Amino acid sequence: MYTAKSNKSNLGLYTKDSIIAFAKSKLLCLEDPLRLNSKFTQRNRLRFLAVLATRLALAVGPFTAEATHVVASHLAVLLSTDQDRHFVQTFYPSEPILAEASAMITSEKGWVFALRSLVHLVQNGIVDAGYRGELLSKVLCLMAVDDSKKEPDPDSLRWIHSRPVKVRDFLDSWLTAPKKDHETFSAALCYGRKGTDAKELERFLDGHVFFTHFIRL
């Protein structure tokens, strides 16, 4: 729809902003994403499952009712099913537009309710948490990169999450300084270097890291 920019279309012209708004509404299954609230209902838990699954590559149990719902209403891809649809294998592929839409939603609504929903789904066996510490590590990485200072991009003023960040900003957002006499982790890293080339360390910290979501291999 983005490439089919026809003036004769009743949908009108699509832009980067409108395609993101469209992606948010489809991901949440809400005509107006602003209507999303933090009531701990089954419907909202499904919505936040879709939001998190897009970036965390979550595996929804194939024998659960939630697997059917995320395919029907929340853009999950159906990989396989049986004749009676008791087994529904789903997948969220690598999709940068949906990753940006997901990041916008967690930025606007906060991570608290999304993670509360995720804990409920994991405890009830609906979502597989993976290896020990894997899911938590992915969540912390995404929170850190979302909170990191982004460089301005005049061509994408609203796509604030799909931008590279400096390594030092990412590390400072993720890790606290090991000692109280340093304000940031990167400052402590530079001060406490032993056997490390100072110039190369600065070059590394001034490099960039860029990711918006994880994929399942």
CA distance 11 to 119: 39
Q: What is the mean pLDDT of residues 66-85?
A: 90
State the Cα–Cα distance between residues 132 and 46, nearest whole angstrom. Answer: 24
Q: d(Cα 200, Cα 198) in Å, to the nearest integer?
A: 6
Q: How confident is the model at residue 11 (pLDDT cuts 50, 70, 90)?
A: low
Q: How confident is the model at residue 1 (pLDDT cuts 50, 70, 90)?
A: low
Whole-prediction pTM:
0.85
| pLDDT tens digits, 87-132 | 999 999 999 999 999 999 999 999 999 999 999 999 999 998 888 8
Under the banding of pLDDT at 50, 70 and 90, the label for residue 3 is: low
List b or e across 124-146, with b for residues whose CB sees 16 or more CB atoms inside 10 angstroms: eebbebbeeeebeebbebbebbb
Phi-psi region of 91 (alpha: psi -120 to 50; beta: other; left: phi over 0): beta
The CA distance from 212 to 55, in Å, is: 7
**Residue pLDDT, tens place only, 164-215:** 999 999 999 999 888 777 888 888 888 766 777 788 889 999 999 999 999 9
* pLDDT for the residue 198: 82
pLDDT digits (tens, 9 = 90+) for 27-48: 999 988 878 887 888 899 999 9
- Find residue 127's DSSP bridge partners: 60
